[in-house]
Amino acid sequence: MKIVAYGIRDDEKPYLDKWSDENPDVEVQSTGDLLDESTVGLANGADGVVTYQQKPYTAEVLDKLGSFGIKFLSLRNVGVDNIDATAAKRNGIKVTNVPAYSPEAIAEFTVTQLMRLLRRTNTFDRKQKDGDLQWAPDIAEELNQMTVGVVATGRIGRAAMKIYEGFGAKVIAYDVFHNPELEKQGIYVDTMDELYSQSDVISLHAPATKENEHMLNDDAFSKMKDGVYILNPARGALIDTDALIRALDSGKVGGAAVDTYENEVGIFNTDFGSFDKIPDERLKNLMKRENVLVSPHIAFYTKRAVRNMVYFAMDANKSLIESGKSDKLVDL
């Protein structure tokens, strides 16, 4: 049995090596290169492919895998929206993902960023660098006095809710699919408009779908409280960036923490050498603001999460090769 693992980073390599040692019946070939038209040939002769990337899995790549007789593609991440589903089905390629590598990691980071916004740490960091150790006028707010609206109550959303409640915040939520336990607690509101109008903080944990694209747009912002805080550790496409900038300019949005960005591919996880060389003016607009925290899609990035991403994806690929089955199969 042979598995080719693409896009293996230095932080993933120790976990991949350990998995390989624990599975001596599997030949593991790894590369730091991403899976694309120029590297797909490395998979020739393999039984399965494991990969992680933000680049598209194009029809050309999937057709090539199919021509090699490879029917099993396991992702080390959650999202599958960058896969050409038609090509995958045409080639009979089964796809798995890692639906939950550490919901707690993302939830903890999200709430950490909110606390930084509420306590105005960006402002105080700047003031101290300038030798200013005064408090006023930069007074903070308390989470225990706020209502947090959680959009989507999957694993990550529920993990975040527990932390918000631990701080004493009132939590409400919206989801098309209601969790039975949360339903009993009466946490759900019936519409997004209700969530917008009641929330001091809006915490996004929804997937990227056609229906959710630009969920937060000019119309949505107009229905929110003045000074609302926006948190997006989920998917960049959920927020219309131009609308967010307008809402920040007007004061409708009092602060935002964005760990994802709608044009992040090719920008996040890249060292441009200097701020001026970042090739996205809207992103730089956000980064310059003291009431905005931009992070390069790092909410997931913990040792536990990286280990789980490698192990769960490799286990899933091996299971597919052995039996054609996996509990992490994705319906494209």
- Which candidate in 264, 281, 290, 322 is catalytic? 264
Question: How far apart (Å, rounded) are the C-alpha atoms in residues 250 and 263?
Answer: 23
Q: Tokens at residue 19, please?
A: 């998995």
Return the exposure string of 200-210: e unless at least 16 CB atoms fall within 10 Å of the residue's CB, then b.
bbbbbbbbbee
The number of helix segments (H) and strand segments (E) in the chain equals: 12, 11
Identified catalytic residue from 76, 120, 297, 307? 297
Angle at 258 between CA 256 and CA 263, to 5 degrees: 130
Give the ranges where 23-83 is alpha helix by DSSP (H): 59-67
Catalytic residue selected from 158, 235, 262, 307:
235
Nearest CA-CA partner of 107 in 138, 141, 153, 139: 153
What crossing angle do the helices spanning 155-166 and 103-118 adopt, rounded to 10°?
40
> How far are the Cα atoms of 166, 232, 261, 296, 299 from residue 157, in angstroms, in the given order?
14, 11, 19, 20, 13
Listed residue (264, 254, 332, 274) closest to 297, CA to CA? 264
Q: Catalytic residue at 264?
A: yes
What positions carry a catalytic annotation? 235, 264, 297
